[in-house]
Amino acid sequence: MSPAAEVFIQSTDTDPEMKAQAVIEQAHAQLLEQLEAAPTAKEGSTTRFAERLYRCLAATDLTLYAAASGAAETRLLVRALRAGARTVGEQIDALTSASDEPARADASRTLTGGLTLLLNTERNVLLPALQALPGVDLPALAEDFTTVLNGGELQDSTVVDVREIPHGRRHPRIFTRFARLAERESFVLVNNHDPKPLRREFEATHPGAFAWEYVESGPEQWQVRITRVAKSA
């Protein structure tokens, strides 16, 4: 197949990764469109819209950010995006607490700027980076993103067996699962070698936020219970 033909195929709406990216971008566009009406919306409508924005932030963190957080190429990007998401969360709070229409208009303008910057970075930087990362299943992430955005819950296994996954493709799966743990929740990682490099990645990405307990230590199989813990003050 010629390079031109390959480019053509990848640019069609039948390509799974392109369709996944379109799903996320469409959700972003709808949020920005709804935000335009926030200054004149009734209080109840503003609250409902804020709840959807919060779900969008949570959905993105549990899917896109989580998958990219364990890769050296994208770790710093995710940290910056999470900081931006926290700022947007504060701007949402300001909008919902605004007492009158002028205050809502001012809060809405601030939120529009912050949210637009965040979503543009996700679209133009994060999504292409995810597509280039080995092991990232963007269509699956988009499906999970939509589930959380619409108020659903993700069903995750308590065991993550990566033995059949090529070495370079394992970490996105593992870090995505960790991101979905509540405090004190855990999963068991099953591997065919001692995952010491993974532990170093966790120490770099989630310092003080996880517990690492060997359940089985070889020689043919290793099992590690990974638990989310509260960071010490």
Q: What is the pLDDT of residues 182-225, one digit of tens each?
A: 889 999 999 999 999 999 989 988 889 999 999 999 899 999 99
pLDDT at 81: 97
Q: What is the sign, positive or negative, of the torsion defined by CA atoms of 220, 216, 170, 148?
A: positive
Residue scoring higher pLDDT (28 or 156): 28
pLDDT band at 232 (very low <50, low <70, confident <90, very high): low
d(CA 52, CA 59): 10
pLDDT at 94: 93
Phi, psi of 110 (to 5 degrees): -65, -45
What residue ranges in the chain does DSSP mark as E strands?
159-161, 186-191, 210-217, 222-228
Q: Pairing state of beta strands 159-161 and 186-191? A: parallel
Q: How would you class 43 by CB atoms within 10 Å of its CB: exposed for 0-12, middle for 13-18, buried for 19 or more?
A: exposed
Q: Are 67 and 141 in contact (CB under 8 A)?
A: yes
What class is the 159-228 domain? alpha beta
Task: Give the length of the chain.
Answer: 233
d(CA 179, CA 63): 8
What class is the 3-149 domain? mainly alpha
Domain boundaries, the chain: 3-149, 159-228
159-228 matches 3-149 in CATH topology = no
pLDDT digits (tens, 9 = 90+) for 37-74: 765 556 567 788 889 999 999 999 989 998 888 788 89
Residue 134 has pLDDT above 90, yes or no: no
pLDDT at 12: 47
pLDDT at 3: 47
